[in-house]
Every structure is written in C-alpha cells, then in structure tokens.
Structure 1
Amino acid sequence: MARTISKKPVYNLNLVLQETGIKADTLRAWERRYQLPQPVRTDGGHRLFSEYDIETIKWLIARQEEGMRISRAVDLWNNILSSGEDPLYSQMADQTRKPAGPIGKHESEALEFERSRWVQACMNFNEAAAEQVLTQSFAQFSLETVCVEILQKGLAEIGSLWYQGRASVQQEHFASELAVRRMHSLITAAPQPVRDGTILVSCPAGEEHIFSPLLITLLLRYRSWNVIYLGANVPKQHFKETIQKTHPDLVVLTAMRLTTAASLREMAFFIQDRDLPVAFGGRIFNLLPDLIKKIPGYYLGSDLLGSISAIEELLINPLPDTEFAEVPERFSQTIGQFIAKRQLIEINIQDSLTKRWGSQITSQPIEEAINYLERNIVAALSFGDMDLLGNNMDWIGERLAAYGFPPDWNFAFIEAFHNALESQMGQAGKPITAWTGKILASTPSSS
C-alpha cells in the first residue's frame, strides 16, 4: 500500500524552500496564478505548508524538468484531478510521465505465463478468454508492461507461428484485431494533451501493420503529448494537406517490410522538403540496419519503449539535421526502365512457365508471385542495394510456397524471371540480373 502523504500544515516557508529548491518569488507566483500549492495562513499571516504541498511543488518542478511549461504542468495536474485521481498517487500520473521500470524475474515469469494464455486464447478464437487475460493483466501490471510484454510480444509469437506454418492467416488476423481494438480503447481513455508540441504518427503507403504506431500513439498520449494518429497506408500526396492543417512539430513513421521502408524513405524526403523533422523505426530496420543511413530522419532505435524517450527528447531538444547516404542515380534509371518493361517481362515469364508446366499451374499464383518479387526488387533498387533481398532461395521459396508453388518449381521460376529480364532489359537490367544470377548459382536446379 502506498504511504499516505500528510496534509497537515506544519512547515514554514524556509523549510519548503530548502526542501524543494524553489525560489520564494517563484512559489508566490505559482500560488497567486495557479492556486498551487495552497498553504494556510497563521493568525500572524505566515504561510504554513503540509507534506502534501511540498510533494506538489516537487511534482510541478519534475514536470518542468521534462520540458513542460508551468502552465501546462498545472493543466496536467488539474486534468488528473478531474478524472477522479490524485496526481501524487495515481497510476495515470506514473504512466504519463515515465516508462515502466525493469522487470524482475518473478514478474517476467508471470508475464510469460499470461502471454501464453493470451496467445492460446487467440489461437482458439476465444475472444472472451483473451479479453479476460488482458483485464487481469492490466490490474496487475503497468499499462506499458502489458502492451509490450503481452500484446506486442504475443502478436510477434503468433506471427512467427504463421511464418512456420503452425498458425493460419485467420488466427493471426483474429489476434491482431483484438490487440488493435484494445489499443483504440486505451487511446480513447487517455488523458487530454497538455504539453506543447504536436506529433503526427503514420504508416507510409502500403504499410498495413498498425500495432506499433498505435502503441507509440498510446504511450505518448499518456505522457500528455498531442498525438495525431493517421493510420495505415497513408499515401504521400495526402500528407501535404494534413501538414498544412495540423502544423506538427515532428512526424513519426513506421515500416515493417522492405517495400514499405522504401515508401517511408520517399515520404521522409517529402516531409523534410517542408522543413519538418522526421523520426522513423520499425522491424525492418532491425533486420536490415543498412537501410537506416539511407533515410533522411532520426532513427528511433530497436526498442519501442526507448523510442518514446527518443521522441520526447527530439521535441524538447531538437537535433541538427541527420546525414544520410545518397543512392546513385543509375538505380533510379534502372527502376524506371524496369517499370516500363514490366508488362513484357511478366508475359515472358508466364510463357516460359506455361511451356514448362502446361496445365499444372494457373496464371493467378504466377502473377501474384511475380508481383511480390517485383515490388521487392523496386524497393531494393530504391535503396541502391539488391543484396538487401539476400543471396539465397530461402525467402523466395517460402513466399512462392504461399502462392501454391511446389518446392521443386522455385529454380525454374527464378530462371524464367532472370531470362525475361535479360531479354527485355539487356544491360539496363544488369543490377537485377546480377542478383538473380547469384540466386541461380547458389540453388541446385531440378529437372
């Protein structure tokens, strides 16, 4: 149980100044303008303060040290009071101003157990059981801890099961929908923003994974920042009007795949041209750290909770523009020529595979596989590095299997792709055919 803070007025002004470090003039100004703190006066007119008054002063000073103006700190204090909680005791106040502390061994084991229960409930499509796990967990642990240790890691676990073929797309979608719905509910219940500064949080074009940006939005809202969440798959052209209307101090973008990292890069240039700072993060930058230096913006790091502190630091103490590596112009030219020849390349691949397999395969899975590979090729070219796609057949085989290809067809597919590129693009397609050539050289052919 938390210690009760006494409201009995027993301390004189000198002791308060010594205990808090505040100046007497500043304290008088706070009392006059904001009615905080509220000391009582003796018959002789001297002010007496309680322990609660002293802790109130310390609380306000701490908010100033975090970058708030005193008027905003007072607004936050009053906002928490109006919610029925006391700022010096409330969980809301703790969540608003600082992240959860380190997780101990016993707490870690308890969280792992609750996470396994939530994952199992989702795998069984048991919404009531999944919601019960979350309700019980929020009663035991901090908001940040539950969101990261159960929801975020639980979704990652289910995603891994899907990747291994041990979970269905429907199970993954069910879990994601429950997690996203909970995020929206928590965001709606978050305190009103009282800090100076507006943050836009968004996914670039093509990015549909929204849990991480929602969690960023939630945690920043609970720190009293004004956050505008734009959602998934936001095209670059829609950003201009949004920026003009909202006047953000920072734009935060997230991407999970190489293709959407390329969209993020394009949007980052667009935003930077409007003299706005950009911060970015996401799983793909953990997997391919070489991408980071090719994006004009501030990388938020691999840890989501750490990214919240990084965002706050950027708002309070803006950094100079970051340096980034330019991509040689020849890669842009290759992209243009590849897109111009795409239809002919696809026809060549279709013809080659049809001649080889005849009626064994329909056109739809071939088209889907070609489109998937083409999107990744364009993304890799936009970063000036085809090796970002890897130099073996593993990931290609996994994706082709998802489109209905037997494993022994993988080599023939890449071979048909390689030959179509050489036929239609010649030397102009060299950056791509050099990569497909490596794939073929590393893969045993099958007759």
Structure 2
Amino acid sequence: MSEQAMDPASSPLYPIREVSRLTGVNSVTLRAWERRYGLIRPQRTPKGHRLYAREDIRRVERILQWLNRGVPVSQVRDLLEQAEPTANDAPPPDISDWESQRQQLLQAVDALDNDTLEALFSRSMALYPAGLCVTELWQPVIDQLEERWSDQFGAELQRRLLESFLRTRVGIRLYHANQASRGARLLLLRLPEERDLLRLLLLALVASASGFRVEWLDTDLPLNELPLAAERFKADAVLMTSGYAERSDLIRRQLPRLAEQLEMPLCLVGPVARIRGAELENTQVATLGNELPAALSRLHGLLGR
C-alpha cells in the first residue's frame, strides 16, 4: 500500500504507517484511540488492514490540539463534536489529568514502586504522543525530583531506580524503532557534569518518536574521540545534553573547536542550551533549546529533512 489513492473513485486512503509519519502519532496510539475511545474509525481492507482518509488525518490533528491543551484523551470525543480549537481557546476547567499522573509518578518513585512506574509509562505512551508524555509528565517530575534529591536521604537510590527503569523501557523502544526508521541518524551523549542518564533517555525517546534513528552512549567519552564515534556510527548529527551550565572552558573553547572538526552538526539540547545559548551564537555549535519536541523540530529544519 502506498500514499496514493487506494480507490481511484474516492479520496486517497492511507495505511497506518503513513498516517503515523504524517501526524507523528505512533501506530500503537492510533489503534488505542480507535479501540478504547472510538476517536477515529478508519476503513478496512478485505484483509483487515486499516485505511485512513484525509478527514481521519484532520481528526487526528484535532485530537492532538486538544491533548496539547491538557485535555484527557477520555474526554476528547465530546469536544471533537464542537468547533475546532483555536490558539486562543482554553480547555474546559479542571479536566486535565496530567497533574494527577505527575503526583502518582512522584509517589511511585518515593515508594520505589516499579509496578506503578510500569503502569504509568505503558498507559501514557499508549495514549499520548511521546513528546507530549515527556513534556507534561516525565520531564516535570524529573525536574521536581532533582530539586528534592539535592538534600534528601535515599535520593541516590531513587535516582538509580528511575534511571534503570527508563533505560530498559526506552532501550526496547529504540531497538524496534531503529529497525523500521529511515530517518537521519543521531548520536546522543551527555556533557561531563550531567550525573545521570535521565535527561539523555528522555531526549532519546522524543528523538525516536520524531522519526530519527538514535544511537546513544551511556558512559563518558573523551571529546577527542567524538569525531571517531560520529564517523563510525554514521551520524547525521551529534546531540549533547546537560541540566547544568557546564564549565566555561568547555562551552567557549572546546565545543566550538570540536564543532569545526565534525562533518555533521554538533547541537546542544536541554537547560545547557538555554543557559549558554548566547555564548555560542557566533560558533558552529547549534543550540536547539530546552523543550524537547521543539528542539527536535528545529533539528529537522537544520538537517533539511
């Protein structure tokens, strides 16, 4: 099946993989919206394969508009029957469930409760796009936890539990996504002062959901070996992340020098990009910002894809 019309006598019909590519919503989520909530009703081939019309794609885009305004997926169906949301529309009051999920996630980390972590991760990733899950749930919780962990007994245990949990779940997703993706290949690394993998794992998750093939290193790599790593991984771009300002010498001298040596873009993502962006304006280091979905969108533009 292709992007072209499946029935010349009707409007074009698209297979689920093409709808996923066009909208950024993975096929698992599209099927969940159909089966659990009746939000979309694609046609079927005689063999049962889903086919989506242009109107179905527009409906998916409307669903995303409501979800981006904090509306729980369970309440979107009624809103779809109303006028389409505009940029100035606010969601109806007291219907967002993100705050409730954030509190549940915080409690699960406090209690070292792997079962609840699994349930929250699986549910959120099945019902919402990965970028929205990270922006509304995982990143805010990790930011809050990092504030607590500065002086909390047992913080290191909580940190390592969450890191181990996300490493496994994100790793599985990356493995399968990389097999199917034909997007640009990214090499992801931490900057030296980043003490754990949490921010890197969230970046990997959103990058993969944005259509990139992702390779990442979970150990520190000497900067002088980065050009070799980028070459061997056949990277189209190198992304580095940190929640800290990092050393001035690294930002002002070492990274700009490294960017000049690489044959592909060197990009900073995360708080470090916001904190140090002004100092890198006249260098070849690209600062993509702190908000991950927007950062990956900028990267698509940078790579011209």
Structures share a fold, TM > 0.5? yes
Cα-Cα RMSD:
3.9
Aligned counterparts of 1:209 and 1:295: Cα–Cα separation in 2:
28
* Aligned 8 A contact 1:300 1:310 in 2: yes
Structure 1: state its 5+ residue gaps: 1-33, 41-47, 67-83, 318-447
Q: Which residue of 2 aligns with 1:355?
A: none
- Out of 130, 150, 154, the position equivalent to 1:163 is 150
Aligned counterparts of 1:252 and 1:238: Cα–Cα separation in 2:
15
Matches within 5 A, 1:194-205: 194-195=181-182, 197-205=184-192
Aligned counterparts of 2:125 and 2:256: Cα–Cα separation in 1:
36
Q: Which residue of 1 aligns with 2:239?
A: 252
* Aligned 8 A contact 2:191 2:246 in 1: no
Question: Greater share of helix residues, 1 or 2?
Answer: 1
Aligned counterparts of 1:314 and 1:152: Cα–Cα separation in 2:
24
> Which deviations, in whole Å up to 9, do the C-alpha atoms of 1:106-137 show, x marking residues without a partner?
54731111111111111111211222222333
Q: Which residue of 2 aligns with 1:216?
A: 203
**Percent of aligned pairs sharing the same letter:** 15
Q: Which residue of 2 aligns with 1:49?
A: 9
Matches within 5 A, 1:260-271: 262-263=249-250, 266-271=254-259
Structure 2: state its 5+ residue gaps: 25-47, 73-94
Report SS of the residue matched to 2:217.
Answer: strand
C-alpha change, 1:283 and 1:38, in structure 2 (3 Å) is closer
Q: Which residue of 1 aligns with 2:42?
A: none
Report SS of the residue matched to 1:231.
Answer: coil
- Out of 147, 151, 174, the position equivalent to 2:138 is 151
Q: Which residue of 1 aligns with 2:39?
A: none
Q: Which residue of 2 aligns with 1:433?
A: none
Higher Rg of the two aligned structures: 1
Q: Which residue of 2 aligns with 1:111?
A: 98
* Aligned 8 A contact 1:118 1:154 in 2: yes
TM-score with structure 1 length normalisation?
0.47
Aligned counterparts of 1:216 and 1:126: Cα–Cα separation in 2:
24
TM-score with structure 2 length normalisation?
0.66
Letter in 2 for 1:55: L
Matches within 5 A, 1:381-396: none
Report SS of the residue matched to 1:251.
Answer: strand
Letter in 1 for 2:124: S
Aligned counterparts of 1:197 and 1:267: Cα–Cα separation in 2:
22
Count of residues in correspondence between the two structures = 251
C-alpha change, 1:181 and 1:271, in structure 2 (3 Å) is same
Letter in 2 for 1:271: A
Matches within 5 A, 1:39-118: 48-51=8-11, 54-56=12-14, 86=50, 88=52, 101=65, 103-107=68-72, 109-118=96-105
Answer with 233-242 or 284-293: which moved more: 284-293
Answer yes or no: is 1:300 the counterpart of 2:288.
yes
Aligned counterparts of 1:109 and 1:229: Cα–Cα separation in 2:
34
- Out of 209, 213, 219, the position equivalent to 1:226 is 213
- Out of 156, 161, 165, the position equivalent to 1:178 is 165
Report SS of the residue matched to 1:242.
Answer: helix
Q: Which residue of 1 aligns with 2:266?
A: 278
Aligned counterparts of 2:259 and 2:277: Cα–Cα separation in 1:
22
Q: How far 1:216 sits from its partner (Å)?
A: 2.6
